[in-house]
Copies of this chain bind each other. A is one copy, B any other.
Amino acid sequence: MAGLSEEARAKLRKVSTATLTTCLLRRGFRTRMMTDVRSAGPANRMVGEAYTLRFIPAREDIDQMSNYADPANLHRRAIEECPRGHVLVIDARKDARASSGGDIMVARLKARGCAGIVTDGGFRDTEGVVATGLPAFHKQPAAPSTPILHHPQDLNVPIACGDVAVYPGDIVVGDSDGVVVIPAAHAEEIANEAWEMTQYEIYAETRIAGGASLYDVYPATPLSRADFEKLRNGKP
């Protein structure tokens, strides 16, 4: 699996999307959190490279359920070709009037070792999708059959998802707040920075629980920073 180091991947699994948006803002990125995209069930952490599928609206004479018997169908190909460790990200134009995929497709992604699935539309068989255990993020459940609304047009091109530009290979991270997309070139650096911030946040939370005020620890002061470093280095 190219791109992201295992260390960065491991760190990203332990930081929040909120912390990542702060790291991104420091680099001038204000628009990297998807709008109206949330976990289909209780949130699982998700980290992986983006592999994309672009839907356009269906046309009645082109889009039929029978298309799914065709091995060239891009919707099926997306499921079978999304690489291990990657997240399948679907541009569904924020439209959940019909399905972006169902439990069997998601189960296959899981079986193939993919890291998750994201759509700005909706899944059908939501209960089954959640039961697969694969991190799955969408707008809302969407039972009706895909060809009523969506035509799979392209694999692995730059897309829109939840108002965010997603380029193939971008790092996609999800948690209970939703999904954030990190430009590939920044991912290693941001993984480290976010991990560092998270260590401090854990320290701050402990201090708050112990009665410290925001002025004492959040954001960090020179004093709290020094205290944190001391503790971290095992000095009492």
Q: Are A65 and B18 in contact (CB under 8 A)?
A: no
CB A23 to nearest CB in B, in angstroms, measures: 10
Contacts of A209 in B (CB 8 A): 107, 111
Given the interface contacts A57-B160, A57-B164, A104-B205, does A148 sit within 8 Å of B76 by beta carbon? Answer: no
Specify the main secondary structure of chain A where it touches its partner.
mixed
* Chain A residues within 8 Å of chain B by Cβ, number: 83
The count of identical subunits is 6
Contact with B along A1-43 (1 / 0, CB 8 A): 0000000000000001110111001111111010100100001
> Which residues from chain A sit less than 8 Å from chain B, CB to CB?
16-18, 20-22, 25-31, 33, 35, 38, 43, 56-62, 65, 68-69, 71, 76, 79-80, 93-95, 97, 99, 102-105, 107-108, 111, 124-128, 140-145, 148, 151, 153-154, 157-160, 163-165, 175-178, 180, 183, 201, 204-205, 208-209, 211, 213-215, 218-219, 221
Can you list 29 A-B contacts (CB < 8 A)?
A: A16-B127, A16-B143, A18-B99, A18-B124, A18-B144, A21-B143, A21-B145, A22-B145, A29-B61, A30-B60, A31-B60, A38-B140, A43-B127, A56-B160, A61-B183, A65-B219, A71-B215, A76-B215, A93-B94, A93-B163, A103-B205, A104-B201, A104-B208, A124-B177, A127-B176, A141-B176, A142-B177, A151-B165, A153-B157
